[in-house]
Chain A
């Protein structure tokens, strides 16, 4: 093939391709996007959805006490009804300089009380003891605080007959104990494990919450230890302030409601509950368009904190049937239950995600608990009527579901 012939052939090919491309481009470029607005009437075999509605009541409810590590923003101390709480506090030993011969003149601990449970007019007081064992705020719970956990010798005390919602707490600590925190080495008698606040005998109607390390609106509201000390010769006098450490509280409560049909959600201990519904009446594969769980509160047994602007309940998907301690989904704010406007004793939850999983199976039900903001920093107690209550009060699940028509 000569060069001119090749050129001619190429031109012909390109002409053909160009023609085809132009036609194709014209055909395709005018295409619209399919939208609901330009969609035509539907004909033919395309099926839709059959939508139904059902109201289920709980087949079972149950609850469990769980000693959880708190380690939150507020530490509780005191007693309110059957609830009691101890605060544990340790200034980091590494923050104290090694001064084996130091002479501690005074050691003053300042705290900021910011919440209360029970009655604010009830007397409130606690005694400070030295902790005798190593502990961690991430793991310690009520059942860890056994005999021998702290010394029996008081190392300070605080009491007030009545107090406002917030106030500062100042405690003079035992200087001998604080001196130990400056020692180079420790022994069975020289420890640096910190202190525990045990409510005194007059404290029966109030538990107070005090800011933890690193919390509060200002740094001054964090636990603060002011130590005035001299050297052995008494020629040098220093004032040191310490404000970093670990802290938590441990709590317990014996929940014995007058009405046995109720179940509790309790912070500061904790009590968590489970609720289960039977969804076998809903066809498998259905899309749940809405699933609203409603719980009816028993106000007589509840103890809602006035410091919680919006009382929220967190539902969780249970992965197993065994306990309410673990094996549940993480907290999902979109599912939080809250009081219905105008009907404060009714809590409503959007549990579509949970119910959809129950429908698919397995269905171990939902775990209900206070949100993490409340469960680990308050002694809030909310009780709801359970599956054995009369039918109008039982937990209810209203579901709208759609099943593809086949």
Chain B
């Protein structure tokens, strides 16, 4: 219990920080400048190691914030806090650079309320998207009597976070249903500095910040009774998730600093413009196959019609409908609490293809990657989960940028038996 309290305190402290960055390392991929930024597919560290496939996989020991239908099998109070590290090795064909950073990747907890009815409450906060870019663009002005060469330095920070609370319930033994109420909030900040090349000319900084808040509702289900249709399907489970369209109230604030000095009173602010951000509905289905107690195979498909999105009341021309497919496998030799450490390790592999919501210069930006995961047991049913990933995104065709992405996430999943009652023998 003492260990749990310490971790809780740490997690609470991290939660207070919200989506703020744990470590510096400014800049990531230029593709995070599109739409709401780099979207986080929040299936948890376990599913991330399996190619982000987990909608159809019963939770038991893991928390999948994207799929409320998977929560019904969670049998203990659990706390899970995550950090993620992301490295982008990007090239435009002539130049390349590597930028990496670490982020707080969320905190979730589960609270089983009724074991027979598989009523489980899940709550927490996770990132939804991240703005993270740092680019310099050379430009110049040639007038009748003067010329001005300058750099434009764009820095994007911020992102959208998602706080959620929901419940799952099993109306019949083979079906779990769940929902979560999601509050989306955050800000997308762009800092645009003009840096003249020659002395005698002054630069400045234009800041724009879009703040938004609103909510969505996610519904999910997990059906494990396929064996009743035909025995050949008895080892299969199928799940789905559906998240409603979200309409976030937004305000666009612009302010200016008329020098490049770090501190300056030469500032101006433009009155905030209120508008809205429309996040399209999303849906996904997942299939899991458990040929043995040790092995779980999973396949997911998810889609979201981002072409219907609106940011500050306008439809961004560079967004398209997104879809992704992921496949993965988990091998866990034993789940017995008293098995050896090695026997209780869980190994995961997966791959995914993500047709991202970005399309620029007529070129769709797609991402594909391979993932691996490891689950290290310690102290009862608690686990340390690690997920590593290598992915590629984009292309250098049409003057674009290709990213090689290295992702690593670590989550600490603590379980405890709070509130559980045991019948008299």
Q: Do A and B bind each other?
A: yes
Q: Is the CB of A400 within 8 A of B341?
A: no
Closest beta carbon of chain A to B396's beta carbon, Å: 9
Nearest A residue to B206 via CB reads A404
Q: Is the CB of A34 within 8 A of B135?
A: yes
Q: Is the CB of B152 within 8 A of A48?
A: yes
Q: Is the CB of A43 within 8 A of B202?
A: no
A-contact bits for B143-158, CB 8 A (1 contact / 0 none): 1111010111110000
Which of A180-188, A262-270, A284-292 participates in binding chain B? A284-292
**What residues of chain A lie closer than 8 Å to B400, measured between beta carbons?**
41, 43
**Number of interchain pairs (Cβ within 8 Å):** 193
Bound together, the chains give a CA A101 to CA B49 distance in angstroms of: 108
Which B352-367 residues sit within 8 Å CB-CB of chain A? 358, 360-361
Closest beta carbon of chain A to B253's beta carbon, Å: 12
Q: How many residues of B contact A (CB 8 A)?
A: 78
Q: Is the CB of B25 within 8 A of A31?
A: yes
Closest beta carbon of chain A to B356's beta carbon, Å: 12
**What residues of chain A lie closer than 8 Å to B92, measured between beta carbons?**
40-41
**What residues of chain A lie closer than 8 Å to B25, measured between beta carbons?**
28, 31
A-contact bits for B95-135, CB 8 A (1 contact / 0 none): 11111111000000000000000000000000000000111
Q: Assess A24 versus B408: contact at CB under 8 Å? Given A40-B92, A43-B30, A44-B318.
A: yes
Q: Is the CB of A40 within 8 A of B401?
A: yes
Q: Is the CB of B206 within 8 A of A287?
A: yes
Nearest B residue to A19 via CB reads B386
**What residues of chain A lie closer than 8 Å to B138, measured between beta carbons?**
36
**What residues of chain B lie closer than 8 Å to A400, measured between beta carbons?**
141, 143, 146, 148, 201
Interface assignment of B218: CB less than 8 Å from any CB of chain A: no
Q: Is the CB of A287 within 8 A of B202?
A: yes
Bound together, the chains give a CA A34 to CA B390 distance in angstroms of: 22
Q: Is the CB of B100 within 8 A of A53?
A: no
Closest beta carbon of chain A to B176's beta carbon, Å: 30
Q: Assess A28 versus B87: contact at CB under 8 Å? Given A16-B384, A23-B386.
A: yes
Interface assignment of A353: CB less than 8 Å from any CB of chain B: yes
Bound together, the chains give a CA A41 to CA B102 distance in angstroms of: 24
Q: Is the CB of B139 within 8 A of A44?
A: no
Which A270-303 residues sit within 8 Å CB-CB of chain B? 284-285, 287-290
Q: Which of A12, A41, A44, A288 has the most B CB atoms < 10 Å from its CB? A: A44
**What residues of chain B lie closer than 8 Å to A42, measured between beta carbons?**
30, 135, 137, 154
Interface assignment of A38: CB less than 8 Å from any CB of chain B: yes
Which A42-79 residues sit within 8 Å CB-CB of chain B? 42-49, 51-53
Q: Is the CB of A290 within 8 A of B85?
A: no
Interface assignment of B418: CB less than 8 Å from any CB of chain A: no
Our pick among A30, A35, A43, A49 for the contact of B100 (Cβ within 8 Å) is A30
**What residues of chain A lie closer than 8 Å to B34, measured between beta carbons?**
44-45
Q: Which of A9, A40, A41 has the most B CB atoms < 10 Å from its CB? A: A40
**What residues of chain A lie closer than 8 Å to B83, measured between beta carbons?**
24
**What residues of chain B lie closer than 8 Å to A48, measured between beta carbons?**
137, 139, 152, 192
Closest beta carbon of chain A to B410's beta carbon, Å: 4
**What residues of chain B lie closer than 8 Å to A46, measured between beta carbons?**
30, 33, 133, 135, 137, 152, 154, 190, 192
Q: Is the CB of B97 within 8 A of A28?
A: no
Closest beta carbon of chain B to A400's beta carbon, Å: 6
Bound together, the chains give a CA A45 to CA B318 distance in angstroms of: 8
Q: How many residues of A contact B (CB 8 A)?
A: 52
Q: Assess A32 versus B98: contact at CB under 8 Å? Given A400-B143, A404-B192.
A: yes
Interface assignment of A192: CB less than 8 Å from any CB of chain B: no
Closest beta carbon of chain A to B330's beta carbon, Å: 17
Interface assignment of A13: CB less than 8 Å from any CB of chain B: yes
Q: Is the CB of B378 within 8 A of A13?
A: yes
Q: Assess A353 versus B266: contact at CB under 8 Å? Given A16-B384, A40-B30.
A: yes
Q: Is the CB of B401 within 8 A of A43?
A: yes
Interface assignment of A39: CB less than 8 Å from any CB of chain B: yes
Interface assignment of B376: CB less than 8 Å from any CB of chain A: yes
Q: Is the CB of A49 within 8 A of B139?
A: yes
Interface assignment of A17: CB less than 8 Å from any CB of chain B: yes
Interface assignment of B196: CB less than 8 Å from any CB of chain A: yes
Interface assignment of B406: CB less than 8 Å from any CB of chain A: yes
Our pick among A19, A31, A40, A357 for the contact of B135 (Cβ within 8 Å) is A40
Q: Lowest 10 A-B CB distances belong to which pairs?
A: A287-B204, A51-B141, A34-B134, A31-B100, A39-B136, A53-B143, A404-B206, A41-B92, A16-B384, A38-B97
Additional pairs, 14, CB under 8 Å, beyond known A23-B386, A39-B95, A41-B400: A20-B410, A23-B85, A33-B26, A34-B135, A41-B399, A43-B31, A43-B361, A43-B399, A51-B143, A51-B148, A284-B268, A285-B206, A287-B204, A289-B148
Residues of A whose CB lies within 8 Å of any CB of B are 8-9, 12-13, 15-17, 19-20, 23-24, 27-28, 30-36, 38-49, 51-53, 284-285, 287-290, 350, 352-353, 356-357, 360, 398, 400, 402, 404, 406
29 cross-chain CB contacts under 8 A: A12-B378, A16-B378, A16-B386, A19-B386, A27-B100, A27-B406, A28-B23, A28-B87, A30-B100, A31-B87, A32-B98, A32-B99, A36-B136, A36-B138, A39-B136, A41-B94, A41-B401, A45-B316, A49-B139, A49-B152, A52-B141, A284-B268, A285-B206, A285-B270, A287-B194, A289-B203, A356-B266, A400-B146, A402-B150
